[in-house]
């Protein structure tokens, strides 16, 4: 009797009933269901791995709100994670002189021509890292600032093995900041997509805020120095 009970228990543990066709009852090994569950879990894990992040938002645009042009962007993130984006608002002329105000936009959602910031790194990419943003152009003429590029260093600025284009075309002054979530903010001057203003390819119609992560920046490039 004792051996018969053990056999019945083993049978229950190794076979799970299922229906196959009308009125037919078959038995399927439990290992098949286990393999199916494992495969489903692996697929779920792959789906949960975040894709590289890149977002862009225009915060200030020329000829809006009574101002001719917005320039010289800056961005800072407070200890509480509040993002403050600021810039010059030029009321009557695009020149560096005249009536100029400082405008600020504030968000709680998570100054020279270049931006520089330190990054503590993330679990898959431990830091510290140094990030640098500036226009990439070989033309020394003042009017031609183009192709804003983000660069990355792991040896405190000695070498910069990683470069990635953030904004093609007219682009100039930029600033960088790192929120508590580890993403990177770049606030920069950019031209209007598809058309450069006549006679002045360096005129920047918009101030754009880009948000990206280290995965987007590295994009498979070698980060070893």
Q: What is the pLDDT of residues 10-62, one digit of tens each?
A: 554 444 444 455 555 555 555 555 555 545 554 444 444 568 889 999 999 99
161: exposed, middle or buried (Cβ count in 10 Å: 0-12, 13-18, 19+): middle
Whole-model pTM? 0.68
What pLDDT digit, counting tens, does each position of 50-109 carry? 688 899 999 999 999 999 999 999 998 887 788 889 999 999 988 888 899 999 888 876
Tokens of 89: 């608002």
* Structural contact between residues 174 and 189, judged by C-beta atoms closer than 8 angstroms: yes
* Of 74, 90, 92, 94, the residue nearest 186 (C-alpha): 74
């Amino acid at each position: 009797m004792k051996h018969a009970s053990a056999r019945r228990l083993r049978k229950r543990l190794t076979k799970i009933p299922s229906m196959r066709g009308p009125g037919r009852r078959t038995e399927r090994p439990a290992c098949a269901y286990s393999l199916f569950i494992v495969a489903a879990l692996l697929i779920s894990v792959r789906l949960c791995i975040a894709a590289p992040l890149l977002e862009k938002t225009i915060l200030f645009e020329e000829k809006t709100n009574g101002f001719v042009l917005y320039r010289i962007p800056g961005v800072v993130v407070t200890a509480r994670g509040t993002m403050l984006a600021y810039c010059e608002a030029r009321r009557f002329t695009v020149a560096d002189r005249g009536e100029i105000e400082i405008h600020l936009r504030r968000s709680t959602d998570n100054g020279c021509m270049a931006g520089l910031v330190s990054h503590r790194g993330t679990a898959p990419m431990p830091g510290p890292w140094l990030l640098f943003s500036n226009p990439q152009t070989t033309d020394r003429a003042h009017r031609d600032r183009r192709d804003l590029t983000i660069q990355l260093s792991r040896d405190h600025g000695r070498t910069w093995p990683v470069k990635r284009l953030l904004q093609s075309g007219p682009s100039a002054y930029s600033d960088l900041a790192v929120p508590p979530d580890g993403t990177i903010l770049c606030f920069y001057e950019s031209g209007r997509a598809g058309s450069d203003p006549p006679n002045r390819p360096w005129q920047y119609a918009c101030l754009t805020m880009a948000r990206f992560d280290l995965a987007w920046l590295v994009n498979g490039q070698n980060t070893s120095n």
